[in-house]
Structure 1
Amino acid sequence: MIDRAVLRGAAAPLVLAAVPAVLALRFGGYHPRHLGWVVLGLVGWACVLAVLGRLSRPRSLSGVATIALAGLAAWTAASIAWADVSRHDAWVEAMRALGYLAAFVVGGALLANARSFARYAWMAGAATAVLAGGVLARVAFSDVPLKAFVAGRLDWPVGYAPGMAGLCLMGWLLLLGVGCSAQQRHERLRGDVQLAVSGAALAGAGLCLSAALLAQSRGTVPALAVGVVAALVATPDRTSWLVRAGATIVAVALIGGRLTQPFQAMFDLRQAPFTKGADEDALYAAAVDAAHAAGMAALIVAAALAVVGAALVPLAEWLRERVRDAEQRIGMGLAVPAAVLVVALGGTLVVAAGTGDGTPIGWARTQVDGCLHPPDTTNDPGSSSSYFANSGTGRCDYYRVALRAGAHHPVLGLGAGNFRGEYVRERTTREEPKVVHSLPLQLWAELGLVGAALGATVLGCVVLAAVRFVRSGPARDATFAGAVAALAYWTMHASIDWLWQLPAVSLPAVILAGGLTACVSPAQGRVPRSVAGPIAGGVAVVALALVLPVTMADAKLREARDPALQESSPGDAITAAQDAQSFDPTWAEPAITEAILWNGQGRSKDAATAAKRAVKLQPRDWSVQYRASGLIGLADRAAGLAAYQAARRLNPQLDAQAEAGTQERDGAEGAKATGAAKRDPDSLQQ
């Protein structure tokens, strides 16, 4: 029988690993109505640990990081006061930051010993592998597999393809560390269990890598390079790690053509309305077949990798001895050349997907050029072979505006979540991102020097913890190396994308960071209960006041926007919109929704009244002004025109944008969205 002590020790890591996986099934936890309850649960858990005396003193590395993260959460909440475009968005960002703070505290308290940390790392990797396997099984066997894709890229269940890819690649790095750790234990214990763990870890790594390739995120390429380097620096057995990484890369490369076919087939399907003589039904069937083939190929490869993973345990021992002999004969280490080979193999996945001039260097040059000189139009269909081959992006322009915004507001910043309004005024593209797509630049632009300094302090503590781990010697557990690699990956990817906004992707990184800093921190004692108790009580009250209103407001607005409710009981839909407004009096969206619903009932005066309220709530939001202008004009033409003129001032490209949007809608009318059935209206678009 399994020891009860082992079960108790595994319970907390299991729950911590399950939370992000559950959030992944709710659009990555992006929406407040999904995230709010998780934040309250994490805060409650942290408060209980504080009352029990489980928190480290601030003098430790973990304590310093906790204080800095708490300061960042408090500064984010304070920015509600100076957020001039949307106080609601700043409110949501404060709730998200509070959740990450609570996760960091819980991770530091529960994963402060090596055994608990290792358990969480392999459970987090296993949870990601199960999620990836379930997604691939749905793609392989579902009658409507295209529901899992957007524009040919796998985005289900997270709702954002780069987020899905990032989650899977973090799982890949964690599972490679788990496999190497099984290798270490087998050499000491010679148990068959470790053979099974090694096989399962490699199979899971294959599932994660296949799902990541189906998601086709260009941001994963530099992030993965950073993660691989971190893994090679941190792992005690580079030979074993390289063999396992190489095995998964080669296996997935063998089916690379299958994994890129869904994108190609769905590209053809999207272009069908614009192609003379195209047979949409035949193209739809071809896209379904391509998705089925890709999912089946990935599952078969994972099964094969399970066998390979078990065989790698004795093989790696034999290979390590041969590598040492070769290094002694040639007088140099082989880890660096082998690492270059692994990275090159990974590059072939990108090259095989139809990139640039056929080389990784050419691909990188194309991406940089596309960032610096984005196309004039958004939603460019791009390459028909692979999303990796596309180069159009406005992110360099996002970064330019963010740097400038921080320079103009160096102390306070724009206010959390308020980058969109600044970008629309200063942009040179037609894009309208809600966030900067870079966590460091987001902190600088939205929270100023204070936010950037606090974020840098947290990062510095985590980096120092990783350095201490690497210096701990060759006896270190390879599971930790996988965690360090996953953290390095997340840090890089979050620096060029908006992963911070997706708790399903970011919570594992935050929990790992909390556990790692706690594990390597010298013992400084615990915070006394007499001090921690009152603080925990105050934090709990603040959390309830911060989280509940915005969570309920988002839930009520979602109810009001339910087409079924609007059709069956429009009065109840209007009431739900009014309830959302009462929960969050700073938010214009409930008022806009109420106005639209009143207009649908033929009550133009009530619609105009609600629309005017929306304009008063967010007068510097061009979108609110623009949408409200027509509704206001139903009863007050002059006021409606004034709202439209305000929208034009806030968005200099409004007239051209409206004309282009009309043309795009007319051209796409009658087409099947991505060849899939109707998608949930909550699908993430940034």
Structure 2
Amino acid sequence: MSAPAFSARPDVRGRAAALPLGLRRPSADLLFGGALALLMAAVALEGGGGLSLGPTTTVEMGLQLIGGLVGALALLLTGARRLHGGLSLLLFAVLAAVTIASIGWAVQPADAWLESARTLAYLATFGLGIALVRLAPGRWSALLGAILAAVLVVSAYALATKVFPGALAEDETYARLREPFGYWNAVGLMAALGVPGCLWLGARRSGHAAVNALATPLLGLLLVVVLLAYSRGSILAAVAGAAFWFTVVPLRLRGVAVLAPAAAGALLVSTWAFNTDALSKDRVPLEDRATAGHELGFAVLGLSLLLLAVGLAVGFARSRQAPSLRARRRAGAVCFAVLALVPVAGAGVLASSDRGLQGSISHTWNQLTDPDAITPANDPGRLTAVGSVRATYYEQSLKIYKARPLYGAGAGGFATARARFREDGYEVKHAHGYLFQTAADLGLIGLAASLLLLIGWGVAAARTTGLTPRRWRQEPFDPERVGLLTLTAIVVVFGVHSAVDWTWFVPGTAVIALLCAGWVAGRGDHRLAPVPLTDPAAAGATGTSTATGPRAAATAAVARLRDGARNPVALVAAAVTVVLAVSFAWATWQPLRSFNAGNDALALLGENKVDAAREAAQRAVDRDPLSIDPLLTLSAVEGAAKQPKAARAALERAVALQPQNPTPWIYLASYDLGVGNAAQALKELGPALYLDPRSTQGVTLFLEASRRTGATAVTGQTGTPATPAGGTAPAPGSATP
């Protein structure tokens, strides 16, 4: 994006210096925004869906280190300034502390460790947003431009997998867009996060007109991505974010001029795609997908060119003659009338249905809340369906919460604890909603910490943007205030979507929202003019030139850094920040190091190097003492070394480490059954099947152990071995009634 795309205050905007051959150095806004766009796009492309340990660890460590280093730099350069957003940062740290503390009571402490690392990375990202706004408060437009650039890169890649399936998605079986996250709703959310930014870009009164015209085709492309992902949650989030933007930003007609043609064009292209079997059905041969994909590419290209022409025409007409007050009022009345007709038309459609208005509403509510409701098919028809499998996950999360209302099952514990309550065979890691996930994982403590963080950030955002009854109409909507409100709208988009899905765990989407949230909280009252780095008073009366530009800014920054290093309070705070960041990154790295050591042990075992394999397995145990996986590997090594006592001892350690996890119980029972001790295996399968009554492996082992012992097992109502009424799984080796 070119420099005119950004609107900044004259006293903080760097001037581009001339280079040979008539070229000009990029502006400070462009460099700042480009670096942020690169960071956000890299996090999205590398982190994927946040489920793969290697890429996720890389992203989290990078965020922790970058956040710590930039935070320390901000403390040294601006240490004497009031820390806006400090309360929000502290409350975020409290939530992180609760997450870390849950390792002590988690049913799956290894997953709690991983979630603690994720939360610390998000804390660092939120702090990074606060640090960046302290260092460059006038570059809010560069941040918005960076978000649009990152969203465009990821959305274009997702769409390209549909247009060029032979090169990018040869083995794809689903019609819905799901790359680069591997999850369609994350793709839809990524595109939805760009909706407020497009409205800002197309509606703003500053900036280059040609650049502003790009907002219309960009918004059209993002809406196509949302629709082709079949993501109802993303549509809801985009509507909520747009509604918030139109409510708080008084550029509504300008925004409508961007949204209306983009939405109409996106709906036209998407409807055509929905009616093309090669684009809307699963398991279509590659040749057919490629042909239809190329047609989709031409359709999107044609739509983009048409919307660009519309954007340029609107901008040209607006520059020649601004609409009169009367014309604006008429247009506003038309928009309001159209908007008011939407619910009326919806009510009319429901009333004319076979169930009638009241029956249709009742049926819709049942489909939304009934755990046994029919899940909509994986086709475009799901966009108008209400039912989903989420009601099942919500019901299970509430059961986990009721079992441990105060502190929950521990961070990341939903996936393990739900096995006790599930009535399906699915392996689900998340509750598909932040509120339900937190209730299941952290109980009332986590819910209280999250609520305090939400309130603290909301107060900070209201102070920054003037969203208070006293200030709302009294303050002018200058460019920065509109930009800050747009950043707040992006946070709203993410918050709404996270309420109905697990995209909190997807780093690519979460990082964008957290940077925006940190920037808004850390800005303070937007009426306060930002202090540029080239201000000689702020630089410490060092004789720094007041000239603007990258060289002057760097000189002033060095002078500030020198002054900060002489301030003991700022120096200590910066040092502590760096130490904490490095410590967090080191702790985050350990599960991955353990995983790699475990793989090395198995590889060495395959080469019949038993002693070396044992050493590698022990290293895996030492690096991640909370996980049962290294112990299972160690047991396999000891078994191959003909050390049955050591092999069984490793499995017993796994059971003692995670007694509320059915997996180590099943491994121990399988081992005992394999060595001929069916009676002992039968005892161990009691707690295993209590913790996971639907375990196919557990039921199979139980039937085999029963057959070998010739015993008739006493069963509970679920048909699995009963457990004491207290609900606590027996200790290793104890009998089950």
One-letter code of the match for 1:649? Y
Aligned equivalent of 1:370: 367
Mapped pair 1:437 → 2:432: yes
Going by fraction, where is helix more abundant, 1 or 2?
1
8 Å contact 1:611–1:632 — kept in the other structure?
no
One-letter code of the match for 1:49? L
8 Å contact 2:177–2:225 — kept in the other structure?
yes
One-letter code of the match for 1:305? L
> What whole-Å deviation, never above 9, does each CA across 1:141-187 have from its counterpart, x for those lacking one?
34155458563221111122111110111023322222222xx015x
Matches within 5 A, 1:148-547: 149=172, 151-181=174-204, 184-185=205-206, 194-260=208-274, 267=281, 269=283, 283-316=285-318, 321=323, 324-326=325-327, 328=329, 333-337=333-337, 339=339, 368-375=365-372, 382=377, 384-388=379-383, 391-403=386-398, 405-406=400-401, 409-427=404-422, 430-468=425-463, 469=465, 470=467, 471=472, 472-477=475-480, 478-521=482-525, 530-547=568-585
- Distance in 1 of aligned mates of 2:199 and 2:651: 54
- Distance in 2 of aligned mates of 1:613 and 1:460: 43
- Distance in 2 of aligned mates of 1:54 and 1:222: 40
Question: Aligned to 2:113, which of 75, 91, 95?
Answer: 91
Relative to structure 1, the CA distance from residue 168 to residue 443 in structure 2 (aligned partners, 3 Å threshold; closer, same or farther) is: same
**1:392 CA drift (Å):** 4.9
Relative to structure 1, the CA distance from residue 607 to residue 207 in structure 2 (aligned partners, 3 Å threshold; closer, same or farther) is: farther
One-letter code of the match for 2:519? G
- Distance in 2 of aligned mates of 1:287 and 1:436: 33
Aligned-pair identity in percent equals 25
Relative to structure 1, the CA distance from residue 596 to residue 564 in structure 2 (aligned partners, 3 Å threshold; closer, same or farther) is: closer
> What whole-Å deviation, never above 9, does each CA across 1:53-86 have from its counterpart, x for those lacking one?
536877x651211111111112211221221x11
Question: Aligned to 2:69, which of 17, 42, 45?
Answer: 45
One-letter code of the match for 1:625? W
**1:361 CA drift (Å):** 12
Mapped pair 1:18 → 2:58: no
Mapped pair 1:586 → 2:629: no
Relative to structure 1, the CA distance from residue 310 to residue 633 in structure 2 (aligned partners, 3 Å threshold; closer, same or farther) is: farther
- Distance in 2 of aligned mates of 1:344 and 1:626: 57
> What whole-Å deviation, never above 9, does each CA across 1:406-447 have from its counterpart, x for those lacking one?
455444333211123332223455544322222233333333
One-letter code of the match for 2:419? V
One-letter code of the match for 1:107? G
If you compute each CA radius of gyration, which structure gives the higher value, 1 or 2? 2
> What whole-Å deviation, never above 9, does each CA across 1:102-123 have from its counterpart, x for those lacking one?
1112211212565312211111
Aligned equivalent of 1:645: 686
Mapped pair 1:64 → 2:83: no
8 Å contact 2:72–2:577 — kept in the other structure?
no
Which is further off, 502-511 or 18-27?
A: 18-27
Q: Does the residue aligned with 1:652 lie in a helix, a strand or coil? A: coil
8 Å contact 2:192–2:238 — kept in the other structure?
yes
Aligned equivalent of 1:676: none
Aligned equivalent of 2:139: 116
One-letter code of the match for 1:64? L
Question: Aligned to 2:102, which of 45, 66, 79?
Answer: 79
Q: What residue ranges of structure 1 are gaps of 5+ in the alignment?
A: 187-193, 270-281, 660-686
- Distance in 1 of aligned mates of 2:176 and 2:113: 31
8 Å contact 1:261–1:291 — kept in the other structure?
no
Question: Aligned to 1:33, which of 23, 45, 57?
Answer: 57
- Distance in 1 of aligned mates of 2:608 and 2:191: 42
One-letter code of the match for 2:151? T
Q: Which structure has the higher relative contact order (CA within 8 Å, separation 6+)?
A: 1
Q: What residue ranges of structure 2 are gaps of 5+ in the alignment?
A: 1-14, 18-23, 532-537, 539-563, 701-737
One-letter code of the match for 2:39? V
Q: Does the residue aligned with 1:159 lie in a helix, a strand or coil? A: coil
8 Å contact 2:434–2:502 — kept in the other structure?
yes
**1:235 CA drift (Å):** 2.2
8 Å contact 2:407–2:445 — kept in the other structure?
yes
**1:52 CA drift (Å):** 0.8
Relative to structure 1, the CA distance from residue 359 to residue 624 in structure 2 (aligned partners, 3 Å threshold; closer, same or farther) is: farther
One-letter code of the match for 1:17? A
**1:491 CA drift (Å):** 0.7
TM-score (norm 1): 0.78
8 Å contact 2:154–2:190 — kept in the other structure?
no
One-letter code of the match for 2:206? R
Relative to structure 1, the CA distance from residue 268 to residue 544 in structure 2 (aligned partners, 3 Å threshold; closer, same or farther) is: closer
TM-score (norm 2): 0.73
Which is further off, 356-365 or 66-75?
A: 356-365
Mapped pair 1:2 → 2:16: yes
Matches within 5 A, 1:660-679: none
- Distance in 2 of aligned mates of 1:156 and 1:582: 36
Q: Does the residue aligned with 2:100 lie in a helix, a strand or coil? A: helix
